[in-house]
Amino acid sequence: MAVSCVRGVSLRASRLLSTQLPRVVGLQTSSTATPRQLTRKHLGCWAKEAWGGRSCVWAAAAFSFLLASDEDAQGKEDEMILLLKKAKLSILRGQLEAASRFLHSAVALAHQSNNHQAIVYAYSQMANLAYIQGQMDHAEKLFKATMSFMLAGGMPQDDNAFIEMSLKLAAMYAEQNKAELAEHGFTFCLDTLEVKVQRLQETPEADRTGETSLLVMVTKIDGMCEDEQEVLRKDTRLLLGLCLDSRARYRASTLHFKQAVADYEKALSICRQEQGESHPQTLVLMSDLATILDMQGRHDDALALIRQAVDLGRSSEHSELHVLVGNMAGILLHTGQLDEAVRFYGEALRLAQQAGDQNAVGRIKEGLSQVKKRKDE
């Protein structure tokens, strides 16, 4: 499908994989640009905040298990815990070389002490780090090694932790334009999760496996009080939404807009049900879906959806309101409502400047210049 109808500037929020780095707002200007492009910078940030705080449950549980034994542990275990803490802090600070050294030392100690959870956690972080540094082949080997350790430890392939790691690989293949591997990865994740969601709805709580206990431990650490069945159900549905969101972005990047819309609509439905109408991620998905509808030439549908997102973003004081308002201005530009586009671009510019988002400022100014060009034609 042609995308020549898309002439303006669309703003997209960006975020990806799992070390809990801050979610970043990104902007695109190309007519074939798509929502929240996959970028190496954002591996380490798999939407823990955006998709409800349950992402990377296995990593959180593994690390929290280590922390819980910190006071009583001695010798190598104490040293290993300290190294993992230092590695995590170094990643958060962007000190990647230091983080790599700490992780290599930690994984050596983990193997010496035969601490399976520490091995899995350390390898996963090494994989994330290699990806961030652009070492794609090395990252792939480490992701696969982590998954092998998971399976060797008795983890079933439908465990949310294993599926999440599979999703990381699929997203990495998508970024590398390895279409067959990416599609296979996304299909595995989605098919497995859909079956699991159905099973969770039908299986009594008493028959559930040890995965529930892992999730309950995490919720207790986080101070939550949901019952076991609800914890696992919600975590699984949110992971399903995250998979749909990731595949939608990939499909949009390959110009398969119809399929991308279908995935976005399903992801948005899950997010609304589990997170609420005004949740930040709900609004981001509404904006992304509006962007794709706009690319399809469905400008009226796109405008109605982005207006709703902007209104909800105002009432909830969305941290990326300038992104939502800027997207609305771009869609108004495409519908020929140039004066309205200027008004909303102006508001988006003020909000972006207040937020200190210089990338957004530049893109919004480019949008304003496109409005001027259209007026002069």
pLDDT digits 0-9 by tens, 131-180: 888 899 999 999 999 999 999 999 999 999 999 999 999 999 999 999 99
Q: What is the mean pLDDT of residues 11-16?
A: 36
Of residues 111 and 73, more confidently modeled:
111
Residue 28 has pLDDT above 50, yes or no: no
- Separation CA 311–CA 308 (nearest Å): 5
C-alpha dist (Å) from residue 15 to 25, 48, 172, 182: 8, 10, 13, 18
Of residues 70 and 163, more confidently modeled:
163
Q: Look up tokens 């999440």; give the residue.
A: 164
What percent of the chain has pLDDT above 90?
Answer: 60
The token duo for 162 is 């294993």
Query: Is this structure's pTM higher than 0.85?
Result: no
204-241: pLDDT as tens digits: 554 555 454 444 434 443 444 457 778 888 999 999 99
Of the pLDDT bands very low, low, confident and very high (cuts 50, 70, 90), residue 60 is very low
304-350: pLDDT as tens digits: 999 999 999 999 999 999 999 999 999 999 999 999 999 999 999 99
Residue range 1-45+279-377, CATH number: 1.25.40.10
pLDDT score, position 78: 83
258-285: pLDDT as tens digits: 999 999 999 999 999 999 999 999 999 9
